[in-house]
Amino acid sequence: MVKRVERSEEEWREVLSPETFRIMRQKGTEPPFTGRYNDFHGEGVFHCAACDAPLFESSAKFESGSGWPSFTEPVQPDAVRTEEDRTFGMRRTEVLCAACDSHLGHVFPDGPRPTGLRYCINSAALQFEGQGEDETERETGDE
């Protein structure tokens, strides 16, 4: 079961960078091919940049060519939740952190096996915790 993290929008604004706040709390997106994790290949776990909940394992990451980090599945089925997104005249499925309700990106049914899903996630919504001696320091989505 996911432990809930609740903060006011003012509190989120205080703990997140302006860009991360725009993406995660105002449902923004970063330009394609600009995020630090798009072409990143470390081994470990990607966490929510807002609340630190584990979201995706590096073993689920794949190169989709979309310009954003893409994953086949979350670390646990209940790590993320989805909602229908009808903004900009499109019909998409939004992906949110199940712990803090922050916007992460969208999921599409055009991914590889075994799930057939492509979780297309903003780098700014992620922070990476590496495994091994050379990746013991946490990398954050904010620089």
Active site residues: 120
User: 10 Å Cβ neighbour count for 122?
Assistant: 26
b/e sequence 86-119, b meaning 16+ C-beta within 10 Å: eeeeeebebbbbbbbbbbbbbbbeebeeeeebbb
**What SS3 string covers 65-83?**
CCCCCEECCCCCCCCEEEE
